[in-house]
């Protein structure tokens, strides 16, 4: 038996004591810096996230994938890192929330794959205390290797020196970065603005970020980090564990400014299952392209509700697709689009598709988020919820999401004809067979509404 050979690649895990410390900005800056040096940089984002990966993909000019042991599985994560290490000169992983938050946490992931971590910290308003916090994080667990501290929003060289002098010898200050509005990434109510909306602006910010790094007081980040040995998965990871169940099928996927929450991994599952994936725009196109199934992913329909409502030909086309009994998967924003009406943040109400009974409405800062498993007749598919809207007067659900750490029922899941709709964003690799069944669903197998 031939023994699998490990793939060697420098790697660094960007973490922080909390959210909003500058992880995405610094990860994007590093990705662009090393890309400009001619390096192939592969970036991974921990946990469920659609917006950060768009920006990181533009910065690195490479695809960005999710790493989450709960959502995707240990072998899946190991396989993706191993494959990336075979082609990359550098792997960067951006953590989520704080270093030890969540189950599994960023620290769990870094420890599992022996990736050294750099602590990103907004040090505005503190000096020696920043060193104390960093030291506490570095020594909280002994199975995590800490490469050093990145001091973001550092006011001056004197400020940097106070932090540097207070750090222990085994916790170096890798870089000190001043606050720079030309580098800071733009934001929106659910996170960062979508990259496609501000592509040219992001390019300017990435270039400014490279200068930002080069002008920093400490430049420990400008050398490639420690080489990590990435092992192949213990169990060979093939996306398809059965025959290509979607062979010969065409799946139309909504993809524009209103609908863009699409994992690359999900598209890869569909194509590996044998499907042809075609993209279309509910905002700009007149009708659904010729297809056997339809996927309406999440996004920001509330920001484009008027345009979606006024595209009557598209609404008519999707309604006919639904009435014909062809499969439709509608996730979060796609579900809101499927309802009868949607009320935006300005409290204006617009007509939507009306293929699912009920009304949707935005509700400002209140919302729901968290990891859940969609429990459906087709099988369990893991995913997550993240929305700041509500729905009312919807049909009786066929099931509910199962929360990761709470016994209360999660998001309701609706099925009518061959439509499956929920607030949940599904991660297809967690159950490819169940995913295939959703896109093969026949209206005759379900009760009529």
Which residues are designated catalytic?
A: 332
Instruction: Name the nearest CA neighbour of 266 among 61, 430, 437, 80.
Output: 430
Residues 6+ apart with CB under 8 A from 314: 282, 285, 286, 287, 288, 308
- CB atoms closer than 10 angstroms to residue 415: 23
- Whether the link from the prior residue into 337 is cis, omega within 30° of 0, is no
CB 415 within 8 A of CB 324: no
CB 40 within 8 A of CB 90: yes
* Residue 268 parent element (H or E): helix 264-272
The CA-to-CA distance between both ends of the chain, in Å, stands at: 56
Strands (DSSP E) found in 218-367: 227-230, 250-254, 259-261, 276-280, 293-296, 298-299, 328-331, 341-343, 349-351, 359-362
Instruction: Report how far residue 46's alpha carbon sits from residue 40's, in angstroms, rounded to the nearest whole number.
Output: 20
Instruction: Report how far residue 300's alpha carbon sits from residue 280's, in angstroms, rounded to the nearest whole number.
Output: 16
Helix (H, G, I), strand (E, B) or coil at 297: coil
CB 202 within 8 A of CB 58: yes
Instruction: Report how far residue 60's alpha carbon sits from residue 43's, in angstroms, rounded to the nearest whole number.
Output: 7
Helix (H, G, I), strand (E, B) or coil at 150: strand
CB 262 within 8 A of CB 53: no
Q: Would you say the C-alpha torsion 101, 105, 108, 109 has a positive or negative sign?
A: negative
CB 348 within 8 A of CB 313: no
Instruction: Name the nearest CA neighbour of 331 among 363, 356, 364.
Output: 356
- CB atoms closer than 10 angstroms to residue 348: 12
Instruction: Report how far residue 389's alpha carbon sits from residue 368's, in angstroms, rounded to the nearest whole number.
Output: 8
DSSP 430: G
Q: 117 - beta bridge partners? A: 13, 146
CB 332 within 8 A of CB 298: yes
Instruction: Name the nearest CA neighbour of 71 among 428, 432, 398, 412.
Output: 428
């Amino acid at each position: 038996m031939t023994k699998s050979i490990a793939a060697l690649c420098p790697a660094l895990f960007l973490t922080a004591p909390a959210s909003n410390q500058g992880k995405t900005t610094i990860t994007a800056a590093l990705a662009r810096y090393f890309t400009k040096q001619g390096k192939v940089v592969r970036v991974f984002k921990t946990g469920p996230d659609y917006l950060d990966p768009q920006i990181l993909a533009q910065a690195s000019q490479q695809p960005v994938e999710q790493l989450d042991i709960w959502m995707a599985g240990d072998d899946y994560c190991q396989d993706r890192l191993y494959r990336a290490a075979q082609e990359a000169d550098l792997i960067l992983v951006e953590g989520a929330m704080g270093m030890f938050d969540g189950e599994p946490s960023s620290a769990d992931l870094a420890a599992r794959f022996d990736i050294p971590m750099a602590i990103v910290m907004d040090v505005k308003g503190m000096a020696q205390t920043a060193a104390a916090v960093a030291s506490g994080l570095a020594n909280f667990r002994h199975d995590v290797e800490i490469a050093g501290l990145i001091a973001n929003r550092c006011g001056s060289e004197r400020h940097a020196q106070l932090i540097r002098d207070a750090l222990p010898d085994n916790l170096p200050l890798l870089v000190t970065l001043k606050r720079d509005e030309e580098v800071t990434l733009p934001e929106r109510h659910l996170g960062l603005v979508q990259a496609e909306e501000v592509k040219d602006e992001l390019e300017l910010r990435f270039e400014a970020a490279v200068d930002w790094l080069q002008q920093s007081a400490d430049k420990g980040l400008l050398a490639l980090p420690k080489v990590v040995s990435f092992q192949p998965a213990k169990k060979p990871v093939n996306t398809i564990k059965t025959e290509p169940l979607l062979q010969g099928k065409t799946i139309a996927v909504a993809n524009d400014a209103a609908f863009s929450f699409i994992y690359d991994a999900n598209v890869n599952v569909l194509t590996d299952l044998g499907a042809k994936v075609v993209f279309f725009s509910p905002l700009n196109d007149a009708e659904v392209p010729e297809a056997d199934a339809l996927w309406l992913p999440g996004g920001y329909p509330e920001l484009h509700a008027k345009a979606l409502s006024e595209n009557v030909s598209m609404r008519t086309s999707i309604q006919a697709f639904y009435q014909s009994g062809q499969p439709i998967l509608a996730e979060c924003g796609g579900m809101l689009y499927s309802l009868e009406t949607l009320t935006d943040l300005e409290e204006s109400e617009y007509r939507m598709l009306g293929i699912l009974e009920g009304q949707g409405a935005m509700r400002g800062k209140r919302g729901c988020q968290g990891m859940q498993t969609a429990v459906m007749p087709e099988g369990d598919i893991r995913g997550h919820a993240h929305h700041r809207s509500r729905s009312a007067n919807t049909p009786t659900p066929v099931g509910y999401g199962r929360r990761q750490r709470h016994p209360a029922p999660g998001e309701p899941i609706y099925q009518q004809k061959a439509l499956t709709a929920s607030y949940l964003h599904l991660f297809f690799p967690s159950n490819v067979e169940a995913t295939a069944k959703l896109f093969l669903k026949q209206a005759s197998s379900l009760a009529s509404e």
